[in-house]
Structure 1
Amino acid sequence: MHTRSLGIDGPLVSEIGFGAWAIGGGWGEHDDRASIEAVHKAIDNGVNFIDTAAGYGDGHSERLIAQVMKERSEDIVVATKTPPADGPWPPSPYCRWQDRYSAAYLRDNIHTRLTNLGTDRLDLLQLHTWTRAWNDDPQPLLVLRQMREEGKIGLIGVSTPEQDQSCVIQLMRDGLVDVVQIIFNLFDQEPAAQILPVAAETGTGVIVRVALDEGALAGKYPADHVFPENDFRHRYFAGDRMARTVQRVEQIQSDMKIFGIQEQYTPADVALKFVLARPEVSTVIAGMRNVQQVEQNTRTSRLKDLPEDLLLQLRRHHWHRGIWYGGKD
């Protein structure tokens, strides 16, 4: 497993990280025993970065991770996230930070994060969403800075809102965040325009999420696939979204055949390698909830990098589809 620096002064982390949303619930039926087994297997395979959040099963994901950490001796970097207080998600331009991320709220929520993870210091605390409306008065991040001085937090980060990922650029340039978590994949390549170059310029760590577009880029779903109603993806791929997505995944698979790599690389490998081709990326958090998924995702780090001419060809799959959540039902 190759490692990369999580920001200019951050720790070395595995370039494939463990995305722990699914083990908290919300992705259909799940088994805690299989989840715990998956986390152990990921660590066995060299993964030393785990990303979770308060909202992943109302802390269930955090508590499962804490259970595993008690049984491991390795140094594992665990990142979690605090959501804003009740209100629209993502925050609207009219939301006040005082109502969504007040100092009292942040301290109380972070205390719960510490308790769930069974630690007295969080390696990385990310605000789970943000709005550009707060950029000129980013008091919530100053509260986190104070908590870092108190020894409660290590690194400070923000997870981008899907509809305005570039809102973190000012935060990076102002030195307010150590890490940003962004969506970057074969379909959504917009971060290459400015977010990634600014991360390099400022020494900001970059965590990439949704690198497999919620599993679609793994190429394992037919056009008529429908997820169960208790699976987050039932809404994500509502209407004709799955059919449209599969059509584009097939075009990526055609590129793989043209370059003759379909025997060595799976579509998931190509999707992950495309993201990892950017040196600004610190780690890619792939969702894993069983040993099979762990084996598939961690093997990618052992494969050779994709050839430059294929990377250039893959840029054509950038898709201006807007935000699924706001699309047709």
Structure 2
Amino acid sequence: MKTRTIGKSDLKVFPIGLGAMGMSEFYGKTDEKQSIKTLHKALDIGVNFIDTADVYGIGDNEELLRKAYSDRWNDLVLATKFGYVRNKENPEGRQRNGSPEYVKSACEASLKRLGREVIDLYYLHRVDPNTPIEETVEAMAELVKEGKVRYIGLSEVSGDTLKRANEVHPITAVQTEYSIWSRDVEKTTMSVIEELGISLVPYSPLGRGILTGKIGDTSALSKNDYRHTVPRFQKENFESNKRLLSRIEQLADTKKITPAQLSLAWLLNKGENIIPIPGTKHEKYLIENAKAVDVELTQDEMQHLDDTYISVAGKRYNDMGMKFTNL
């Protein structure tokens, strides 16, 4: 079984993980029974790096993992996140909180929902502009000393913020959006990630689904699908981005693989420290994604895919979403 090590930790995982977010909200209708089957299948085929957050389903996603894994926790590496605050009374509201007091209360709440005594990898989901990163990380480091967290990570951070955080306590992983059509991290944080020996964990490595080649028209998405708010899925941008996809599909056809497998292989070839976490609710796509570890790409093929990025239309988040990043 192929594995990659997360940062400088002792956490060894399959090179491709599983993002559980969409099992609880954001991407249309949810199905708990189907999601649990997919979560079980992940471990059965060796996909043992599972990603969640307290904000997904406003706690429901962590509880879903408890239902699926209560007797299998030892078979996986669990990552969850805090600091991006919502509540069920006002689910559309968004706040950031990295205060030391909140760090500890959020961790306790996640442990309770998960039914666990320790979190393998605990991320700050979004940097709190009102709390110095040093104070947040110091509180996270206390959780490590107390044995409630094994390793800590950050999400959507600039290189400068990452350096400051790492001086307080070693950062094991950085999570950010990264794919053939979202490459901001290469300019903002990648050099620091590599310099410090940190793993990069790309979320939305399949471009929120567009890189799978299975979204022909956004009208097919359910009304409550989050992607309706994403600029790259707005009508004119989306039509332009479908032309971008054709370059990927042509190469995938030549190699007799799927566009999703090609997109994931591109990421894996970007560095041994990269561990993407594509999300899916379905066993079929989980298995398809996992097979990307066997795809080999030449330098010319990598360059072909690199060049695709030039023509991406639209921002990766709306204005509020971009405001919440630290890039």
TM-score between both structures, scaled by the size of structure 2:
0.86
SS in 2 for 1:215: helix
* 1:315 maps to which of 306, 319, 324: 306
Deviation at 1:101, TM superposition (A): 1.9
- Provide the C-alpha distance between the structure 2 equivalents of 1:145 and 1:173, rounded to a whole number of angstroms: 11
Note closer, same or farther for the CA distance 1:147–1:169 as it changes in structure 2 (3 Å cut): closer
User: Is the 1:23–1:35 Cα contact (8 Å) retained in structure 2?
Assistant: yes
Residue 163 of structure 2 corresponds to which residue in structure 1? 170
**Number of matched pairs:** 310
Rounded Cα–Cα distance in structure 2 between residues aligned with 1:20 and 1:224: 22
Change in CA separation of 1:131 and 1:308 when aligned onto 2, cut-off 3 Å: farther
Partner amino acid, structure 2, of 1:250: S
Letter in 1 for 2:59: G
* Matched letter for residue 120 of structure 2: D
For residues 276 and 43 of structure 1, the distance between their equivalents in structure 2, rounded to whole angstroms, comes to 20
* Aligned match of 1:160: 156
1:143 corresponds in structure 2 to 139
1:124/1:153 contact within 8 Å kept: yes
Measured in 2, the distance between the counterparts of 1:49 and 1:7 equals 14
Identify which range, 187-196 or 10-19, moves more after superposition: 187-196
Change (3 A) 1:39 1:256: closer
CA distance in 2, matches of 1:271, 1:214: 12
The TM-score, its normalising length taken from structure 1, stands at 0.86
What RMSD in Å do the two structures reach over aligned CA positions? Answer: 2.5
Change (3 A) 1:238 1:90: farther
| 1:118 corresponding residue in structure 2 | 115
Aligned pairs for 1:216-235 (under 5 A) are 216-223=210-217, 225-235=219-229
**Aligned partners of 1:313, 1:84: CA distance in 2, in Å?**
36
Deviates more, 1:173-182 or 1:10-19: 173-182
Secondary structure of the corresponding residue to residue 143 of structure 1: helix
Q: How far did residue 74 of structure 1 move?
A: 4.5
Could you tell me which of 106, 110, 133 is aligned with 1:109?
106
- Residue 2 (structure 1) shift: 1.9
Q: In the alignment, is the contact (CA less than 8 A) between 1:66 and 1:118 conserved in 2?
A: yes
**Residue 299 in structure 1 maps to residue 281 in structure 2:** no
Distance change >3 Å, CA 132–CA 205, structure 1 → 2:
farther
User: Residue 190 of structure 2 aligns to which amino acid in structure 1?
Assistant: L
* Aligned-residue offset at 1:141: 0.8
Q: 8 Å contact 2:99–2:131 — kept in the other structure?
A: no
Q: Distance in 2 between matches of 1:215 and 1:25?
A: 15
CA distance in 2: counterparts of 1:70 and 1:160, whole angstroms: 30
In the alignment, structure 1 residue 277 sits paired with structure 2 residue 274 = no
Q: Which runs of 5+ in 2 are unaligned?
A: 87-91, 321-327
1:109-143 CA deviation, whole Å, 9 max, x = no partner?
A: 111100011111111111111167866x5201110
Preserved contact between residue 49 and residue 78 of structure 1 (Cα < 8 Å): yes
More off after superposition, 68-77 vs 151-160: 68-77
* Structure 1 residue ranges without an equivalent (≥5): 92-99
Q: How does 1:163-312 map to 2 (within 5 A)?
A: 165-166=158-159, 168-171=161-164, 174=167, 176=169, 177-193=171-187, 195-223=189-217, 225-236=219-230, 237-256=233-252, 260-261=254-255, 263=256, 265-301=257-293, 303-312=294-303
Structure 1: distance between partners of 2:134 and 2:175: 17
Identity over aligned residues, as a percent?
25
Distance 1:133 1:253, change over 3 A: farther
Q: Classify the secondary structure of the residue corresponding to 2:53.
A: coil
> Does structure 1 residue 80 correspond to structure 2 residue 85?
no
CA distance in 1, matches of 2:70, 2:104: 25
